[in-house]
């Protein structure tokens, strides 16, 4: 099992620590409110007939910060702070708005540009993050930014790509995003397996393309994860399983509905340690596996497979026992509506004489055996085929 996550070399090692030093405050919200009102005032001076003559430089000037030595206060600034603080870099909302406004002014779709202009403050926001809040921003700032943008948006020309037949668009997506039959969370089924490189830029094109790409990329794929549990350490067990739960919980609910098949590879906790939550915004759950199934209501089929049992002197029997205990616990978590399929290809190691009776009884009680159906078995078969084909 190998982790599929790596930190980009362009991001400082202490990036998350740096962002905490530059937190957005109520005072910042006051300045932001004044900047948004200045942008709105600049727009309101232009009549609807003369909107082609909007001076973008004047809008950009309105985005400039007020001197921080000024003492200012605007009514209801605390409420405004609570509204915008969830956005990354709220201080850039005026600049991003003006950039999007300038694009539609020229008849072009606005671009969600993902960048980090200041590592001390975090990732810059996109207009798609800001737009759902425009109506509330207008209500609190007494502005008309949403209306002003909406009037111009009718000028945007339809994207020529969307005039192509759906089959050609799908072919384009397949070239940009080569997809495997499975999508692995954290660990791949095999240590040697390398995932294809993908380009996600296409998701930023517009909402229709985003939805089409998401459906192509996630639909009819097997969601793969690893499960392990040690009765002697419930804290470690829940911490390990919560890593997978948290990743699923961060997915868009629409994305989670695409998954109809789940594969769980039974493993062991030897060598694992308790780690900090990767997604602090996800609330703690006492039973991560049951809650994970609740997050995936469309899952119809569960494939249960087994990871290899390595030769570790003095620990093998403990690992085998731990896997069996994990199976007992796991099958009790599976909703009765789900069809359970067992791939026992690697369930029993040839190095040790293991009593197969307990596992066979579990299989007979819930589910059916489908040898070779698991992702790990299929990848192993493909790997063998490639080795035999080599000259």
**CA–CA separation, 140 and 33 (whole Å):** 9
Q: Which residues contact 20 (CB under 8 A, 6 or more apart)?
A: none
pLDDT for residue 182 is more than 90: yes
Q: What is the mean pLDDT of the chain?
A: 82
**C-alpha to C-alpha distance for 62 and 234, rounded to whole angstroms:** 56
The predicted pLDDT at position 368 comes to 93
3-class DSSP assignment, residue 137:
helix
The residues, ordered by sequence, that sit 6+ positions from 286 with a Cβ below 8 Å of its Cβ are 238
CA distance 102 to 55: 10
CA distance 193 to 197: 13
Cβ atoms of 363 and 344 closer than 8 Å: yes
C-beta neighbour count of 101 within 10 angstroms: 21
The predicted pLDDT at position 351 comes to: 55
Both tokens assigned to 269: 């906790």
- Residue that is written with structure tokens 């200012």 in the block: 72
pLDDT in tens, 126-174: 898 899 899 999 999 999 999 999 888 887 888 888 899 999 999 999 9
Tokens representing 72 are: 């200012």
What is the per-residue pLDDT across 20-76, written as a single tens digit (0 to 9) for each? Answer: 446 788 888 888 998 898 888 888 876 555 555 555 566 666 556 555 444 455 567
Distance separating alpha carbons of residues 92 and 32, to the nearest angstrom:
8
Dihedral over Cα of 178, 183, 186, 190: its sign: negative
pTM: predicted TM-score of the whole model, two decimal places: 0.69
Q: Which two tokens stand for residue 152?
A: 């111009």
Q: For residue 220, what are its two tokens?
A: 């009819």
Residue 6 clears pLDDT 80, i.e. is over it: no
Alpha-carbon span 261 to 65, nearest angstrom:
51
CA distance 383 to 48: 64
What pLDDT, on a 0 to 100 scale, did the predictor assign at position 74?
59
Structure tokens at 352: 């040790």
Dihedral of CA atoms 359, 362, 368, 372 in degrees, nearest 10, equals -30
Q: Is the model's pLDDT at 223 over the cut of 60?
A: yes
Residue whose token pair is 């915008």: 84
**Residues recorded for the chain:** 391
pLDDT at 246 over 90: yes
Answer yes or no: are the C-beta atoms of 347 and 359 closer than 8 Å: yes
Distance CA 313, CA 24 (A): 54
- pLDDT of res. 294: 96
**27, containing H or E segment:** helix 26-44
Q: Which two tokens stand for residue 256?
A: 């989670």
pLDDT bucket at 10, cuts 50 / 70 / 90: very low
Question: CA distances (Å), 33 to each of 80, 140, 260, in order?
Answer: 8, 9, 45
Among candidates 154, 162, 100, which has minimal Cα distance to 129?
A: 100
pLDDT confidence bin for 383, thresholds 50/70/90 = low
122 SS3 class: strand
φ, ψ of residue 306 to 5 degrees: the values are -130, 135
Cα separation, 248 vs 241, in Å, equals: 11
Q: What is the pLDDT of residues 93-121, one digit of tens each?
A: 999 999 998 888 888 888 888 788 887 78
Angle (deg, nearest 10), helices 316-333 and 357-365: 10
| Average pLDDT estimate for 279-296 | 92
Q: Please compute the mean of the pLDDT values over residues 288-314 and round it to a whole number.
A: 87
């Amino acid at each position: 099992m190998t982790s599929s996550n790596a930190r980009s070399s362009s991001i400082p090692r202490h990036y998350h620590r740096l962002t905490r030093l530059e937190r957005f405050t109520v005072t910042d919200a006051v300045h932001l409110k004044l900047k948004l009102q200045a942008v709105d005032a600049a727009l309101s001076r232009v009549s609807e007939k003369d909107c082609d003559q909007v001076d973008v430089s004047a809008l950009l000037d309105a985005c400039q910060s007020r001197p921080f030595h000024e003492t200012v206060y605007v009514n209801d600034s605390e409420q405004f702070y609570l509204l915008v603080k969830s956005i990354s870099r709220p201080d850039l909302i005026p600049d991003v708005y003006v950039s999007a406004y300038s694009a539609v002014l020229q008849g072009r779709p606005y671009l969600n540009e993902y960048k980090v202009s200041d590592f001390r403050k975090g990732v810059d926001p996109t207009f798609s993050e800001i737009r759902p809040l425009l109506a509330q921003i207008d209500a609190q700032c007494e502005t008309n930014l949403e209306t002003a943008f909406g009037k111009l948006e009718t000028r945007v020309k339809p994207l020529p790509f969307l005039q192509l037949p759906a089959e050609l668009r799908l072919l384009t997506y397949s070239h940009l995003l080569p997809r495997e039959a499975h999508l692995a969370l954290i660990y791949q089924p095999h240590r040697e397996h390398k995932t294809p490189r993908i380009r996600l830029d296409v998701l930023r094109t517009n909402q229709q393309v985003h939805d089409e790409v998401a459906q192509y990329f996630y639909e009819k794929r097997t969601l793969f994860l690893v499960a392990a549990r040690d009765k002697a350490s419930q804290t470690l067990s829940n911490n390990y399983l919560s890593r997978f739960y948290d990743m699923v919980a961060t997915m868009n609910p629409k994305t989670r509905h695409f998954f109809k098949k789940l594969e769980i590879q039974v493993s062991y906790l030897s060598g694992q340690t308790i780690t900090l939550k990767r997604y602090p915004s996800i609330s703690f759950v006492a039973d991560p596996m049951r809650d994970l199934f609740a997050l995936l209501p469309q899952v119809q089929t569960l494939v249960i497979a087994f990871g290899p049992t390595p030769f570790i002197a003095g620990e093998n029997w403990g690992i085998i026992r731990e896997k069996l205990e994990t199976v007992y616990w796991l099958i009790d978590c599976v909703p009765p509506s789900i069809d359970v399929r067992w791939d026992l290809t690697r369930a029993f190691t040839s190095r040790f004489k293991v009593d197969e009776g307990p596992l066979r009884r579990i299989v007979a009680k819930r589910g059916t055996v489908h040898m070779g159906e698991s992702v790990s078995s299929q990848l192993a078969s493909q790997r063998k085929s490639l080795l035999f084909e080599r000259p």
